[in-house]
Amino acid sequence: MSLEKLLNAESVAIIGASKDKTKRGFQAIKTLLDEKFEGVIYPVNPKESSILGLKCYQDIADVPGPVDTVLIVTPARTIPGLLAACGAKGVKGAVIIAGGFRETGQDGQRLEDALKEAALQSGVRFIGPNTSGMINLKNNLNLVGLRNAPKGDIALISQSGNMALALITEAKVKSLKGFSYYIGVGNEADVKFHEYLEFFKNDPETKAILMYVEGMRDGRKFLQQAHLTTLSKPIILLKSGRTDTGRKAAGSHTGALAGISEVSRTAFGRAGIVVIEDSDKLFPAAETLSSLPPIKNNSVAILADGGGHATIAADLLTDLGLTIPELDGKVQARLKSILPAAAAVGNPVDVAGGTDSDPTIFADCVDIILKDPAVGGLLIVGLFGGYGIRFEESLSLKEEDAAHRMGKLIKKRNKPIIVHSLFASARPHSHHLLRYYNIPVYDSLEVATKCVGVLAEYGGHLQSHKIKTNFVFNWGAKSKPEARKIIDQAGKEGRTLLLEHEVKRIINMHAKAHAIPITTDMLASSVDDAVNVSRTLSGPLVMKIASPDIMHKSDIGGVRLNLNGEEDIRRAYGEIMENVNKHNPHADIRGVIIAPMAKDGVEVIIGTKIDDQFGPVLMFGMGGIFVELLKDVVFRVLPISYFSAKKMVNEIKSPLLNGMRGKPPGDKKAIHRLLLLVSEIIEAYPQIREMDLNPVIVHEQGLSIVDARIIVAPNKQAVLD
**Residues 635-674, interacting with a second copy (CB under 8 A):** 653-656, 660-661
Residue type, 253: H
Residue 207 is a binding residue for a second copy (CB under 8 A): no
555 Cβ contact partners less than 8 Å away, ≥ 6 residues apart: none
CA distances to 68, 70, 397, 442 from 50, in Å:
21, 18, 56, 49
Give the footprint of a second copy on residues 357-396 (CB under 8 A): 382-383
Cα separation of 605 and 610, whole Å?
Answer: 17
The dihedral built from the CA positions of residue 355, 360, 366 and 369, taken in this order, carries a sign that is negative
Query: SS3 of 239, please?
Result: strand
Instruction: Tell the smallest beta-carbon distance from residue 654 to a second copy (Å).
Output: 7
Query: Based on CB atoms, which residue is closest to a second copy, 517 or 659?
Result: 659
Residue 629 is a binding residue for a second copy (CB under 8 A): yes
From 114, 228, 312, 374, residue interacting with a second copy (rule: CB under 8 A): 312
Q: b/e string for 104-119 if b means 16 or more Cβ within 10 A?
A: eeeebeebbebbeebb
Instruction: Tell the smallest beta-carbon distance from residue 249 to a second copy (Å).
Output: 4
Give the footprint of a second copy on residues 404-463 (CB under 8 A): 422-423, 425, 444-447
Residue 249 is a binding residue for a second copy (CB under 8 A): yes
Give the footprint of a second copy on residues 208-227 (CB under 8 A): 212, 214
Query: SS3 of 177, please?
Result: coil
Give the footprint of a second copy on residues 555-584 (CB under 8 A): none
Interface size with a second copy, residues (CB under 8 A): 72
Residues 336, 365 contacting (CB under 8 angstroms): no
Cα separation of 260 and 213, whole Å?
Answer: 9
Stretch that binds a second copy, among 10-18, 117-125, 156-164, 464-472 (CB under 8 A): 156-164
Query: Based on CB atoms, which residue is closest to a second copy, 6 or 310?
Result: 310
Residues 271, 226 contacting (CB under 8 angstroms): yes
From 131, 229, 230, 240, residue interacting with a second copy (rule: CB under 8 A): 240
From 319, 566, 567, 721, residue interacting with a second copy (rule: CB under 8 A): 319
From 1, 477, 515, 625, residue interacting with a second copy (rule: CB under 8 A): 625
Stretch that binds a second copy, among 117-125, 245-253, 460-468, 592-600 (CB under 8 A): 245-253
Instruction: Tell the smallest beta-carbon distance from residue 166 to a second copy (Å).
Output: 5
Phi, psi of 268 (to 5 degrees): -60, -40
User: What is the bridge-based pairing of β-strands 708-712 and 497-498?
Assistant: antiparallel
Query: Based on CB atoms, which residue is closest to a second copy, 317 or 677?
Result: 317
Instruction: Tell the smallest beta-carbon distance from residue 247 to a second copy (Å).
Output: 8
From 139, 202, 311, 496, residue interacting with a second copy (rule: CB under 8 A): 311
CA distances to 226, 290, 462, 493, 525 from 230, in Å:
6, 12, 8, 47, 56
Contact string 8-37 vs a second copy (x = CB under 8 A): ------------------------------
Query: SS3 of 51, please?
Result: strand
Residue 159 is a binding residue for a second copy (CB under 8 A): yes
Total length of the chain = 721
385 Cβ contact partners less than 8 Å away, ≥ 6 residues apart: 399, 419, 421, 423, 424, 426, 428, 430, 431, 434, 441
Query: Based on CB atoms, which residue is closest to a second copy, 254 or 547?
Result: 254
Phi, psi of 718 (to 5 degrees): -65, 135
7 Cβ contact partners less than 8 Å away, ≥ 6 residues apart: 93, 134, 136, 181, 183, 199
Query: SS3 of 38, please?
Result: coil
Cα separation of 356 and 388, whole Å?
Answer: 10
Query: Based on CB atoms, which residue is closest to a second copy, 512 or 653?
Result: 653
Cα separation of 431 and 443, whole Å?
Answer: 11
DSSP state of 326: P
Give the footprint of a second copy on residues 39-98 (CB under 8 A): none
Instruction: Tell the smallest beta-carbon distance from residue 173 to a second copy (Å).
Output: 5
Residue 162 is a binding residue for a second copy (CB under 8 A): yes
Residue 120 is a binding residue for a second copy (CB under 8 A): no
Stretch that binds a second copy, among 64-72, 155-163, 393-401, 566-574 (CB under 8 A): 155-163
Stretch that binds a second copy, among 148-156, 159-167, 499-507, 610-618 (CB under 8 A): 159-167
User: What is the bridge-based pairing of β-strands 708-712 and 688-698?
Assistant: antiparallel
Contact string 126-145 vs a second copy (x = CB under 8 A): --------------------
Judge residue 306's burial from the number of C-beta atoms within 10 Å of its C-beta, 0-12 exposed, 13-18 middle, 19 or more buried: middle
Instruction: Tell the smallest beta-carbon distance from residue 236 to a second copy (Å).
Output: 15
600 Cα distance to chain centroid: 39
Stretch that binds a second copy, among 344-352, 398-406, 553-561, 639-647 (CB under 8 A): 344-352
Instruction: Tell the smallest beta-carbon distance from residue 331 to a second copy (Å).
Output: 17
CA distances to 190, 221, 629 from 224, in Å:
18, 5, 33
Give the footprint of a second copy on residues 251-310 (CB under 8 A): 252-254, 278-280, 302, 305-310
Residue 622 is a binding residue for a second copy (CB under 8 A): no
Contact string 169-188 vs a second copy (x = CB under 8 A): x---xx--------------
Query: Based on CB atoms, which residue is closest to a second copy, 48 or 262?
Result: 262
Residue 332 is a binding residue for a second copy (CB under 8 A): no
366 Cα distance to chain centroid: 35
Residues 78, 55 contacting (CB under 8 angstroms): no
Query: Based on CB atoms, which residue is closest to a second copy, 206 or 254?
Result: 254
Q: DSSP labels for 395-429? A: HHHHHHHHHHHHHHHHHHHT--EEEE-TTGGG--H
From 35, 195, 198, 350, residue interacting with a second copy (rule: CB under 8 A): 350
